[in-house]
Structure 1
Amino acid sequence: MSKSSKHTRKDFIKTLGTSALAVAGVPAILTANTKKPISYLTRERYAANSNIQIALIGAGGMGSQDTYTALKHDGIKLVAVCDLYDGYLKKAKENWGSDLFTTKDYREILNREDIDAVIIGTPDHWHKQISIDAMRAGKHVYCEKPMVHSLDEGHEVIQTQKETGMVFMVGSQGLSSLGNEKAKALLEEGAIGDINFAEGFWARRSPIGAWQYNIPNDASMQTIDWDTFIKNTNKIPFDATRFFRWRNYKDYGTGMSGDLFVHLFSSLHFITNSYGPNQIYASGGLRYWKDGREVPDVLLGVFDYPDSPQHPAFNLSLRCNFVDGTSGTTYLKIVGSEGSMDVEWDKITLKRNNEQFDDPFLEAKSKEQGQKTGRKKIVPQEEIVYRAEEGYLGAHYDHFANWFNAIRGGSPVTEDAIFGYRAAAPALACNDSYFEDRAIKWDPVKMRKI
């Protein structure tokens, strides 16, 4: 039997006058122009009680962003960087110091005793192996999403985490945001009733957003370790485009679903405590970026979430568009029996339906005059906005704070291997559905195809 909201709508309304509308002691305010109640979300600062020495494996765009964010935390030192391209290693020394140890062989990183933890920012097809090797070498791991490249890789990562006891965190950075935490609390408080539907959208309209990454002029077999790049996949001649724009190719990336849908799955599963869908269907196509890529640039996904102890049955609709001419936006909307939430990493917009009750006297007078009665009227929704307070350092910062806190002996990470695989699996199954043109059946509890 599914778990309904722990609190009724009336209970939630009562809390609006106290703690629910005054987060961390900050009272709600009304903006002068909209009259919408706004509550400010706050985050306690994490204290650094021990130093952590880290290394980066995969120093491209996302790996570098991860490292910049990690180094904003106290007590964190970067001592080594690994990448297969000389240019990224040179750039790493320019950014983080000439004394930085650099290598093209990640095993040299793992063999160093002065490294406590590694950030894995490689293309997707190397996530599983480097994660496993790192944990077996006694290193804590922050692995970029999706956790694995294919559905059959997840259980081995989970088992390795259990066997080694290392702290393993998947890098869906929005998961640890104030917005997600507040949405989770609101759902548990009954703010929107019982969930029955959710939808998400990711829109981009730039070449970089569509993975048309820059290809350096010096890209060659002399500057790139191509043999290692393709070591665990199909062996083909050197191709700089495939190396730098790897997300466009199935051998190395996981398409729009693995890159972007996975963020929405992570947030949704955190908010609802869900294990995931049991049926996945995808459709889409290559509409604009016909540059030799093997994956679509418009993708739609429909996901059935079964009734479970965590939540009632609901449906999820996701879409992604790399040729959106109107905006470059993303959102996640969660709809319940009594309202909805628009969830952003630093903002929640809660909308609750007002009920219209007819006055008995007015209804009697209307009948006397021959007018129709009992007809409902259009009434405005009640809207409450929760926004991160000024100075909030962001979801990415919070995600690393969660990882470092766990390494230092604090609470467990929010996105361990099991959670990470349950977020990655429907994204990867979405790809399978698209390329096989069929619905995919999935057991979200056992985490296996049916």
Structure 2
Amino acid sequence: MSEHRQPSRRHFLKSVAATGAVLPLGSQVMGSEKAGQPLANDRLVVATIGLRNQGKLITNQARQHAEIAAFADVDSRVLGENVEITAEQQGKKPDGYKDYRKILDRQDIDAVLIGAPDHWHTKIAVEAMLSGKDVYCEKPLTLTIDEGKLIEKVVDQTGRVFQVGTMQRSDCDQRFLQAVAMVKQGRIGKVKKITCGIDGMGGSPVIPITDVPTGLDWDFWLGPAPKTDYRALPKMREGYGGGVPLFSNCHYAFRNWHAYAGGKMTDWGAHHVDIACWAIGASDPNQRDNGNIKGASKITPLDFTLPVEHKDGFPVVEDQYNEATSFTIQVDMPDGIEMIITSGGDNGILFEGTEGRFFVNRGKIVGKPVEDLVDNPLPEGALEEVYGGELTSHMANFVGAIKSRKQPIADVWSHNRMLEICHLSNIAMRLDRELKWDPTKREVIGDDQANSFLSREYRKGFEISM
């Protein structure tokens, strides 16, 4: 599809810096197509970076719409398996690389799908946009709040299309769209409280240093994260995420470590807190234009358990999982709405208002306001109005956005506004105190130590290439 394209990243950023320009969302600087114009060829050419679990899933989804031209993964066994499987499925063998930058250097690739661990998301995404690629990136998008700001800036400056993989916005039998529409249509009156149940997670025994598995480039897997030894216990995980150690600091289990992820708080919070904020308009991207920023104002850790001792927000040992295993967080939202994020109770979202309450998750949507829809259904087109157009799968929405050069349903600004709540909840637990948040300035009020957690230092040699 592509004819590519672009001036060098360095030249592009120098030009932006010289003029002080910030391009509007949806504008296009680099690419073979002008903003708003149809693609020269309907068949996209894409590549996936990071192939375990979600990376493999989104590749399969993209194959319905695109040619899979290349893969990158630091685990040679996983890379080889996916190359061969995809070659058989699409009748054309994709190229395989250990270094994702070889994908970004190619001029025939239109978009990249990022399924790498969370600590890699921002570096790969920013460099992909600066190389002229549109991006689909798995959730949670960032490891820190400041990374979210950087991604937003580069989306604005390059005009690239960027979809975050919060699939509940599109998929799951439209239950979540129905929930958002019901709230926006006033079916529970004025919203008073929202409870997001996102499950907890277990701690770990002491995990010893051991040999790095054959085929895994451990140093490259760590990337921007601090240098450390590979740790694992021999017992293997079953089911989803199988084929890897049950306890480790790498594949699948990376979610349990501050250095690479945010535990259940950002893993499942990226789904349910997203729907909650969407329903009450607390992540509406149009807020940027009208200057009326509505967001969290206070985050209070009511109860929580960290599996290891922390000092000044950092774990004092490095041989056990360190993300919160259980928690109840209270978040003060706009218009007097109370949000509770908890590891207890049912996984899903409970909306409570002055005129009723209902519960939604991936298996059901229940409550009297739902039952009342039989006699008083939502207006025709209510779900489409919430969604912003024709209801599609999440990947189809991304492909459509590439063709229209408009941002998709899970845009980076909406995602980051709700993910800030999850990041702040983790910071509040690590520091064991309430945090007051300025949603306009996007900083913690009167707490320099807490603000130091809004960013992170990238390991030398793995800084973002700007």
1:116 corresponds to: 110
Larger Rg over CA atoms: 1
SS of equivalent to 1:243: coil
Structure 1 unmatched ranges of 5 or more: 1-47, 308-312, 353-380, 388-394
Query: Which of residues 397, 401, 418 is equivalent to 2:413?
Result: 418
CA contact (8 A) 1:304 1:314 kept: yes
Aligned: 1:315 with 2:338: yes
1:194 corresponds to: 190
SS of equivalent to 1:342: strand
Aligned: 1:183 with 2:191: no
CA contact (8 A) 2:198 2:265 kept: no
- Describe the superposition over 1:98-143 as per-residue Cα deviations: whole angstroms up to 9, x where unpaired: 7221111110011111211111111111111111000001111111
Query: Equivalents in 2 of 1:234, 1:173: separation in Å?
Result: 31
Give runs of aligned pairs for residues 98-247 of structure 1, distance below 5 A.
Answer: 99-177=93-171, 178-203=174-199, 220=212, 222-239=214-231, 241-244=248-251, 245-247=253-255
Query: Equivalents in 2 of 1:231, 1:126: separation in Å?
Result: 7
| Offset at residue 318 of structure 1 (A) | 1.6
1:90 corresponds to: 80
1:278 corresponds to: 297
CA contact (8 A) 1:403 1:413 kept: yes
Aligned: 1:336 with 2:331: no
CA contact (8 A) 1:422 1:447 kept: no
| Offset at residue 438 of structure 1 (A) | 0.7
Query: Equivalents in 2 of 1:210, 1:80: separation in Å?
Result: 36
Aligned: 1:351 with 2:346: no
Aligned: 1:298 with 2:326: yes
Amino acid at match of 1:285: T
SS of equivalent to 1:119: strand
Query: Equivalents in 2 of 1:65, 1:97: separation in Å?
Result: 16
2:50 corresponds to: 58
| Offset at residue 382 of structure 1 (A) | 5.8
Query: Equivalents in 1 of 2:307, 2:129: separation in Å?
Result: 41
2:277 corresponds to: 269
Structure 2 unmatched ranges of 5 or more: 1-39, 233-247, 284-294, 309-316, 379-386, 446-466
User: CA 1:430–1:114 in 2, change beyond 3 Å: closer, same or farther?
Assistant: same
| Offset at residue 268 of structure 1 (A) | 1.1
1:12 corresponds to: none
Query: Equivalents in 2 of 1:219, 1:143: separation in Å?
Result: 31
Amino acid at match of 1:104: K
Query: Which of residues 68, 76, 82 is equivalent to 1:78?
Result: 68
Amino acid at match of 1:69: Q
Query: Equivalents in 1 of 2:405, 2:102: separation in Å?
Result: 29
User: CA 1:435–1:242 in 2, change beyond 3 Å: closer, same or farther?
Assistant: same
Query: Which of residues 424, 427, 432 is equivalent to 1:429?
Result: 424
CA contact (8 A) 2:198 2:343 kept: yes
SS of equivalent to 1:185: helix
CA contact (8 A) 2:307 2:321 kept: no
1:377 corresponds to: none
CA contact (8 A) 2:203 2:320 kept: no
Query: Equivalents in 1 of 2:196, 2:214: separation in Å?
Result: 43
1:251 corresponds to: 259
1:3 corresponds to: none
- Describe the superposition over 1:184-240 as per-residue Cα deviations: whole angstroms up to 9, x where unpaired: 222222211110101121347xxxx8699xx9xx97365112222223221123335
SS of equivalent to 2:368: strand
User: Normalized against structure 2, the TM-score is what?
Assistant: 0.68
Query: Equivalents in 2 of 1:211, 1:176: separation in Å?
Result: 33
SS of equivalent to 1:187: helix
CA contact (8 A) 2:203 2:321 kept: no
CA contact (8 A) 1:349 1:383 kept: no
Amino acid at match of 1:56: T
Query: Equivalents in 2 of 1:236, 1:287: separation in Å?
Result: 20
Larger mean Cα displacement after TM superposition, 254-263 or 127-136: 254-263
Query: Equivalents in 2 of 1:268, 1:219: separation in Å?
Result: 43
Amino acid at match of 2:343: C
Query: Equivalents in 2 of 1:144, 1:179: separation in Å?
Result: 21
Query: Equivalents in 2 of 1:161, 1:191: separation in Å?
Result: 36
User: CA 1:443–1:49 in 2, change beyond 3 Å: closer, same or farther?
Assistant: farther
| Offset at residue 306 of structure 1 (A) | 2.2
CA contact (8 A) 2:198 2:272 kept: no
Amino acid at match of 1:78: I
User: CA 1:408–1:382 in 2, change beyond 3 Å: closer, same or farther?
Assistant: closer
1:404 corresponds to: 399
CA contact (8 A) 1:49 1:408 kept: no
User: CA 1:420–1:350 in 2, change beyond 3 Å: closer, same or farther?
Assistant: same
- Describe the superposition over 1:378-413 as per-residue Cα deviations: whole angstroms up to 9, x where unpaired: xxx9654799xxxxxxx9972212111101116531
Q: CA RMSD in A?
A: 3.1
Size of the aligned set, in residue pairs, is 346
1:26 corresponds to: none
Query: Equivalents in 2 of 1:176, 1:399: separation in Å?
Result: 5
Give runs of aligned pairs for residues 32-47 of structure 1, distance below 5 A.
Answer: none
Query: Equivalents in 2 of 1:50, 1:284: separation in Å?
Result: 50
User: Normalized against structure 1, the TM-score is what?
Assistant: 0.70
